Structure 1
Amino acid sequence: MKREFKGSAMLNPVPLALITSKDLDTDKTNVFTVGWIGTACTKPPMLSIAIRPERYSYELIKKSGELVVNLPSDNLVKAVDFCGVRSGREIDKIENFNLTLKGSTKISTPYIDECPVALECSVRDIIPLGTHDLFLVDVLCSHVNENIIDEKGKIHFENANLLHYCHGEYYPMVNKSIGSFGYSVRKKKKSKNKPNKKTNKK
């Protein structure tokens, strides 16, 4: 039996990201936490990010037209929470948590080196929705820690200890898979070792 609730954004869990943006007037970098973020398109690579217009970062991103999506690991959970509840108008959150900024290659906004994955983005469009505006951003390039890339070049996000958010709580990503894309319809591989045929000698 299920209980019915009124319409609400009850999509859980969601990924967490630390978004860096640059104040063009002061040249300072700000960071804030978002949970309403997702993949919007693969070609061209595009993300959707919902941001409240009253957020300090909203002003910076709208003016500069760029941002970096930094994916934090579980050791940054305190910074993730803090950056979601404190405003950059009041405190320098980068300095407060001693986060290391590294220069991006496609945009002027730096990324956070402590995050295992960082995606440089430019703003394509801003769509007013209600409490939030939807930012559609193009992913220009990405930076990934070498220690989660295997010898074949595959990125193992499960080894990055990434965080996700679920109904007011933070959880680490598990690193054991229970399936892979398409496994439910994948044909089983035939054994290469065929049994030897017995020959009858007369």
Structure 2
Amino acid sequence: MLAQALAFLRGPAPITDRAGLLDFIESRAAFLVQKSIMDYSRARSGPFFTSLLKEEPFRQAVAWSRWTLYPVGLAMVGEMVDALVRDGGAEPAGSARGVAGLAAAAMDVHAADQELGPEAWAAARVELVDTLERISGRPAKPVMDIPLAYWERVFANMPIHENRREGDSEVVRNHLRSNLCAMSAELEKRTTPERLAALVCTPAPAVG
């Protein structure tokens, strides 16, 4: 009990190896997507949210949304990591390639759990790697601007009928921006840009 209390007071452990960085990318991408889905569903359904959670069709819709959007969450978190890696002196091509490999590995963590089917999952993995490798061709974006390229896809795949989503796009977009900024701040507390660059650019098995 005392050890747990001390760990809580110390906060998250520093990220010192690729395994820790992979865990950060995997878990934060999942959180980013899950929080967006559940917060929006709760806001849209109001007092009926608890009852809605007990309905199997809604639970299935949430699961579909979660797995469909997980690669999108990885793209956002990956691009956020890339921005900090570049601050650590890494070349854009090396940073993008390393981040893409870590994001692909994060998808592999859930290959047996996802409910989209192996072909759809494999296709999403290929798209994710391509998306992240291509960011080397442009300057790194401010973290708060990264979701601007992804939010429409997130909004389109919410487990709420599109007829009930009118006028809500800004809410989803702003939640993504604020949550990703909070994750970036956490990452900066747990490592340095230079250390992150060394971890990301360490040679790893090719992805594809």
Which protein has the larger Cα radius of gyration, Structure 1 or Structure 2?
Answer: 1
TM-score (norm 2): 0.24
Report which structure shows greater RCO (CA 8 Å, sep ≥6): 2
Structure with more of its chain in strand, by fraction: 1
TM-score (norm 1): 0.25
Structure with more of its chain in helix, by fraction: 2
